[in-house]
Amino acid sequence: MSADCTTNSPTDPFVHWCETCGREEVLSTQDAFDAGWDFPPRMGTFGVISPRTCPSCPMTSTVWWAISVEKLSMDDLTPHQLKVLGRILEEVPPSAGGVQ
């Protein structure tokens, strides 16, 4: 995961969602990063398994943690984790055209 700002980083606000508590906020990439969100493109990459968490939730409850640290297989993931995994893998980076 990278904390570097990329040149393709969307500047318009878009929906940031927490896979742990379900919180959603419409924020710019920089505002989300400054607030403590773990969310692409500042933390991770769209469409690649990495944490999607709000500032209040721990990384230890993420699909990334379950797969990378706990070494769970797809068969061991909960229905919620499988849904989150699908959402991550289907992500498309937000366009510069507005809220997505």
Domain ranges of the chain: 14-89
d(CA 59, CA 38): 9
Cβ-Cβ contacts under 8 Å for 45 (sequence gap 6 or more): none
Over residues 41-87, the pLDDT tens digits come to 999 999 999 999 999 999 999 999 999 999 999 999 999 999 999 99
Amino acid at 95: S
Place of tokens 């690649």: 48
d(CA 56, CA 38): 11
Whether 28 and 13 have beta carbons less than 8 Å apart is answered as yes
d(CA 61, CA 21): 10
Q: Does 31 score more than 50 pLDDT?
A: yes
What predicted TM-score, i.e. pTM, was given to this entire model? 0.80
Mean per-residue pLDDT for 1-15? 61
| Average pLDDT over the chain, rounded to an integer | 87
